Amino acid sequence: MRVLIFDAGISNAHSIAKALRAADAAADVRTDLTLLPSADCLVLPGVGAFGPAAQALAPYREALRTAVTQGLPVLGICLGMQLLFDRSPESPGGGLDVLAGEITALPTRRRPHMGWNRLAVGPDQPPLGLDWAYFAHSYVCHPADPAAIWATTAHDEVRFVCALRRGSVWGVQFHPEKSSRAGIAFLRRFLREVRCG
């Protein structure tokens, strides 16, 4: 199984590669898309702001979007999840536009939100496989489709989406690579579902 971690210079892709190795997967960290046609799944990590990340992603946007809309499983992590959407009113630039909705600043007293939070899985949603996860972010997503919301969490009494899923498109606001053994188990689950597809 070939896992492609796309590194557009907006993340510490090697941290997620290490976590995927711990989850028994071989992952290729690449700054180009030469392996995209042969990849079994795509992992899109990211840290920072939507605008600069969208600018870094722009040369690869159409190829990535085409692959994902044609069924390539993708896991977006933190900013990587936000880039699955089209836009953020807070920043210029366009994401991959594979999910409808927008990205806005987290409307809390304390920002960024950093630390461990309990996750609440939505009704009619399958278990995530972890109850707590580590977060480091200042922005949140607002999916247009409520059925895509997998789980939420809260910071300063503001509840927001922290995991979403629509078909083979998965996104998490938390960092599984920083979420101890439960985070590794979550990555294993993603990989298992990709294999069983």
Q: Which residues are catalytic?
A: 78, 175, 177
**In sequence order, which residues have a C-beta less than 8 Å from that of residue 132 and are 6 or more positions away?**
116, 117, 118, 119, 179, 182
Residues ≥6 apart with Cβ < 8 Å to 33: 6, 60, 63, 64
CB 95 within 8 A of CB 145: no
Contact 51, 91 (CB under 8 A): yes
What region, left, alpha or beta, does residue 157 occupy, with left being phi > 0 and alpha being psi -120 to 50 degrees? left
Q: How far apart are CA 19 and CA 124, in angstroms?
A: 29
Identify which of 161, 45, 156 has the alpha carbon closest to the alpha carbon of residue 110. 156
* DSSP conformational letter for 91: B
Amino acid occupying residue 117 = N
